[in-house]
């Protein structure tokens, strides 16, 4: 690492603020184009995904999945199994070892491979004159990419300041399991964390104002809610959060009409906010939206023609792969390549619940709102041979298509192995395929992805009348 003050004399073509996935993607892309890049980071290198997000949560999801599989083994005649948590601290320590390993392999050890990238540890912000500074010292550079990520949102509930809350970071660091937990927010973070702790033996109440996965298709949301309930997760929907307090017995959350919900710990999963505080964006002529996300055009350029932004700090598509994708576009634009614009029309997304939820393209309501006349297909998983063989028919598949052209507009899957199938739907949508073309596509038998073929055929056929292999 090098002292920033030795490099504030115009030695760099580009400064990238933020050393997470978006920052690294931007820095490497620009360096490969010949730019001299200063990658400026503050705090733990690697950003949200590897340190406190995707990697640790998915590691623990897999860990508790073994507990569920043992409990569900009796669905096969003649098989019994059992599993239990014997040392949660050891499970968490193993998770942390993986985090440390990947941080080193994918971030720290990557830097020496790119001679044109210099990592500088310091706090970047814009001066009142709109110029970049690092730890208060002027940092002369022609172009800047902001990739400072996001943080957990704390809802403005009266009394929240006096409660020792958990967020997605601190919850995954707990070395002792509480007896009970209130999880506030039932989006993808809330659902994933609620299921982790419930499967580990915690009594979980999942609380929301808009239901489970409110952005998903209603058929998907309802069925996932049913499956979570079957696992013992208490689901509570309310209109408002009136106040929260903590005493020696735990946390008390008062909701609509004075009803009290109690738990040993309170986990906040109410979304994330862009990290823009302290950057002094206004002085640099950078505009933000109502939630603080930096506004950018298709090339990720801000209102300041020499500054770009990418990743969670823009407030949209908060997935690590979209952060890296947007950062590449920003870097290419900064290097003068304006040919490619940000396109999320075929962006797949996944919720690592069990069953998993995955989607791409438009929901039925979104398609209608955009003026399409639509037709839909909903296929229960008990029509998919793979699910029947696994004796696990939790879920369904929904496809949305344009009525006149039959062109696919969207797909959502709820299935134990749904995440690995959504890319097929994404490629079909990107290619402009019709549901007839998807239904005619050759797919391997006894796979979850074959369900997409069956769902496509369901638009015009009764799949119960077909022979095997989606004939």
187 annotated ligand-binding residue: yes
- Is residue 127 domain-shared with residue 30, that is, in the same domain? yes
**How does DSSP classify residue 384?**
S
Closest alpha carbon to 217 in 371, 32, 410, 86: 410
What is the pLDDT at residue 9? 57
- Is residue 265 domain-shared with residue 177, that is, in the same domain? yes
463 annotated ligand-binding residue: no
285 annotated ligand-binding residue: no
The per-residue pLDDT for range 63-110, each reduced to its tens digit, is 999 999 999 999 999 999 999 999 999 999 999 999 999 999 999 999
333 annotated ligand-binding residue: no
The per-residue pLDDT for range 249-277, each reduced to its tens digit, is 999 999 998 999 999 999 999 999 999 99
- Is residue 298 domain-shared with residue 249, that is, in the same domain? no
Residue 208 CA to its chain's centroid (Å): 18
The total domain count for the chain is 3
186 annotated ligand-binding residue: yes
- Is residue 433 domain-shared with residue 396, that is, in the same domain? yes
398 annotated ligand-binding residue: no
- Is residue 192 domain-shared with residue 308, that is, in the same domain? no
Tally the residues of the chain.
Answer: 471
167 annotated ligand-binding residue: no
- Is residue 137 domain-shared with residue 178, that is, in the same domain? no
189 annotated ligand-binding residue: yes
315 annotated ligand-binding residue: no
The per-residue pLDDT for range 356-383, each reduced to its tens digit, is 999 999 999 999 999 999 999 999 999 9
Does 59 fall in a domain? Answer: no
353 annotated ligand-binding residue: no
Helix axes 188-199, 54-71, angle to 10 degrees: 50
CA dist 210 and 188 (Å) reads 13
Largest CA distance in the chain: 74
Does 78 fall in a domain? Answer: no
Q: What is the pTM of this model?
A: 0.94
């Amino acid at each position: 690492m090098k002292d920033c003050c030795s490099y504030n004399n115009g030695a760099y073509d580009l400064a990238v603020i933020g050393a997470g996935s978006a920052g690294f993607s931007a820095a490497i892309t620009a360096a490969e184009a010949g730019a001299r890049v200063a990658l400026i980071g503050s705090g733990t290198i690697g950003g949200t995904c590897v340190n406190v997000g995707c990697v640790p949560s998915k590691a623990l999801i897999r860990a508790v999945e073994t507990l569920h599989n043992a409990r569900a083994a009796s669905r096969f005649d003649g098989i019994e199994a059992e599993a239990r948590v014997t040392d949660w601290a050891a499970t968490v320590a193993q998770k942390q070892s993986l985090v440390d390993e990947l941080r080193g392999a994918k971030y720290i050890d990557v830097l020496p491979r790119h001679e044109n990238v210099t990592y500088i540890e310091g706090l970047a912000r814009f001066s009142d004159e709109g110029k970049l500074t690092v730890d208060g010292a002027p940092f002369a550079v022609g172009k800047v990419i902001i990739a400072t990520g996001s943080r957990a949102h704390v809802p403005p509930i009266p009394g929240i300041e006096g409660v020792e809350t958990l967020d997605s970071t601190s919850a995954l660091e707990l070395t002792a399991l509480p007896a009970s937990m209130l999880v506030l927010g039932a989006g993808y973070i809330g659902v994933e964390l609620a299921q982790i702790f419930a499967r580990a033996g915690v009594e979980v109440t999942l609380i929301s104002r808009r239901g489970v996965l409110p952005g998903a298709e209603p058929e998907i949301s309802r069925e996932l809610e049913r499956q979570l309930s079957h696992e013992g997760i208490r689901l509570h929907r309310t209109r408002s959060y009136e106040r929260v307090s903590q005493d020696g017995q735990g946390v008390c959350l008062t909701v609509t009409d004075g009803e009290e919900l109690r738990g040993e710990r309170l986990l906040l999963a109410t979304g994330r906010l862009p990290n823009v505080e302290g950057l002094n964006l206004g002085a640099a002529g950078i505009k933000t939206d109502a939630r603080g996300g930096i506004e950018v055009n298709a090339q990720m350029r801000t209102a300041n023609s020499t500054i770009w932004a990418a990743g969670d700090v823009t407030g949209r598509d908060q997935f690590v792969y979209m952060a890296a994708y947007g950062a590449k576009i920003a870097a290419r634009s900064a290097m003068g390549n304006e040919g490619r614009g940000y396109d999320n029309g075929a962006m797949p997304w996944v919720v690592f619940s069990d069953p998993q939820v995955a989607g791409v393209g438009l929901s039925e309501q979104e398609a209608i709102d955009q003026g399409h006349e639509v037709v839909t297909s909903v296929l229960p998983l008990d029509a998919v041979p793979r699910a029947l063989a696994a004796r696990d028919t939790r879920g369904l598949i929904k496809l949305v298509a344009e009525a006149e052209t039959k062109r696919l507009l969207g797909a959502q899957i709820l299935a134990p192995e749904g995440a690995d199938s959504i890319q097929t739907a994404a490629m079909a949508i990107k290619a402009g395929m019709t549901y007839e073309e998807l239904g005619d596509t050759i797919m391997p038998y006894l796979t979850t992805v074959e369900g997409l073929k069956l769902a496509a055929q369901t638009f015009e056929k009764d799949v119960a009348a077909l022979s095997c292999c989606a004939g």
